[in-house]
Amino acid sequence: MAAFLQGIIKTLKTLQLRNTQRGKSQSFNGTSYLEVTPINGMILRSAYTITSRNNNYLTYFRRGSAYFNEANKSLDEDKYVTNVWENTLTYAKYVGRHDFLGLVGFSTENYSQLHFGMSGSGFPDDDVLNDFGSAAVIGALEESFTENALVSSFARLTYKYNKKYILSGTIRRDGSSRFGPDKRWGIFPSAAAAWLISEEKFMQTGKLSKIFSYLKLRGSAGRTGSQNLGNYSWRTGVSGTVYNNLPAIIPTSLGNPDLRWEETLMLDLGLDFGLFKDKITGTFGLYEKRTKDLIYSTPVPPSSSFSSVSSNVAAMSNKGIEFDIKGQVIKRKNLTGTLDFNISRNISRVTRFNDQVKALDLPGASTRRMRIEIGGRTGQWYGYKTANRLFVTQEEIIALQSQTATGARQFYRTGTEAPGDLYFMDLNGDGKITVDDQTYLGSAEPKFSGGFGGTVIYKNFYVNATFSYAYGHTRLGHYQ
């Protein structure tokens, strides 16, 4: 009790010591561009954007505070800078019922982060001699720098006939510094087509014209690339240290020079509609995504002194259907109201693992985990299955503990079970509960998901409510 009271008194004294904790942030975002029209219909544009943010955080705890016996000071500074330079040339040409729009471009993007930190303690005076040069002990200086760059070239051509039929094609070539020199470049093409059915003559007369105010059929196919990994995952990282009072370096991360772009082929078919002068609008769509060379951090043998390495580990597919609708239910002079609803179904499957990977176990609690395996969904729960009851007496727990040949007790699970704990099932019948007894419990991926909501606007007063739902998935609590 005395120690508790002393802690309270020391904390109150700390509050009276006028300790310093000061944070400052400065940001800047600017864009400049040059636009030239050399001939009719052609536009040459060059734009440069810079985004910068500086964070500074200073702390100073005076002598006698609850945190340090001696005065302690620390300073952390971070600087983030993003530079984007984009150059495009567009050309539009109209010939009768034919519309052409072409674009070619080149862009570069660079992101950098600089961190600096230092600390000191044992200052002779809290008010005057409190600069870092006056500290009796200077802590280790911290300095780190990281950056990444993306270089892209791209082209797009769009053709429209009679404002009803639309074709477009795009191709881009991206190079990312996040991959090794031999794997940096990826080529990603796409194509799309659309038919404005509502512009056809047979849709603009009779009953159909009164029902459909807008109707569009569209389809697309394209390949995209993902570089969702660390800036230097392709190379082994090192850090400075001190060994035997001499400067040294130690490896801090395991690199993979064979890392390459994660690529996704997207197929999409949809129908957009507007009914009764757009009082009701909505979309209906089908899609399929085929991803290969999925980037994931996989475990490595403990003998490597590392826990994981980034790799292209798998291929997977996603197939689904989407539907959303929005309707205007109230329209008065100063009052409008709308309702909206959407629903979707997605089925994901892992179709292949690269190299020697057979399955992936995502991190989780000791009693359950999420597993990804060939042919399975991406959100499969694996864990211990319960007997739908709790332990009631200590005797039934002891009865589950077997005696080994040496006479040592083999515990049922952890040796800490007590009445009221979950009764896990020994599925393989070896007399104990281990990882081998974990089994499929369900999927975290819902059969259906979506949302609904409404909006009411009265003059300058606005009210909106949004809800989401999911059905047909398994949720596991902490003790399940």
Q: Which pLDDT score, from 0 to 100, does residue 407 have?
A: 42
348 closest CA partner among 313, 369, 319 = 319
SS3 379: coil
Residue with tokens 């984007």: 84
Contact between 104 and 89 under an 8 Å Cβ cutoff? The reply is yes
262 closest CA partner among 229, 304, 230 = 229
Q: What is the pLDDT of residues 241-295, one digit of tens each?
A: 777 878 888 888 888 999 999 999 999 999 999 999 999 999 999 999 999 998 8
By residue count, the chain amounts to 480
Q: Which pLDDT score, from 0 to 100, does residue 129 have?
A: 78
Q: What is the pLDDT of residues 439-450, one digit of tens each?
A: 888 888 899 999
Report the first-to-last Cα separation within the chain, whole angstroms.
Answer: 39
DSSP per-residue string spanning 331-349: E-SSEEEEEEEEEEEEEEE
The residues that bridge with 290 in the sheet, in sequence order, are 265, 317
pLDDT < 50: residue spans in the chain: 9, 12-16, 403-411, 479-480
Q: Which pLDDT score, from 0 to 100, does residue 333 have?
A: 87
Q: Is 51 exposed, middle or buried (0-12, 13-18, 19+ CB in 10 A)?
A: middle
221 closest CA partner among 188, 195, 197 = 188
Q: Which pLDDT score, from 0 to 100, does residue 216 have?
A: 97
Long-range contacts of 92-99, Cβ-Cβ distance < 8 Å, separation of 24 or more: 92/41, 93/41, 97/161, 97/162, 97/163, 98/159, 98/160, 98/161, 99/158, 99/159, 99/160, 99/161, 99/163
Q: Which pLDDT score, from 0 to 100, does residue 479 have?
A: 46
Q: Are strands 42-61 and 98-121 parallel, antiparallel or unpaired?
A: unpaired
Q: Which pLDDT score, from 0 to 100, does residue 401 have?
A: 62
Instruction: Kindly tell me the sign of the dihedral angle through the C-alpha atoms of 360, 365, 366, 368.
Output: negative
Residue with tokens 């310093």: 20
Q: Which pLDDT score, from 0 to 100, does residue 409 have?
A: 45
477 closest CA partner among 444, 428, 445 = 444
The residues that bridge with 94 in the sheet, in sequence order, are 99
Contact between 349 and 372 under an 8 Å Cβ cutoff? The reply is no
Q: Which pLDDT score, from 0 to 100, does residue 138 have?
A: 87
Query: At residue 15, what is the residue type?
Result: L
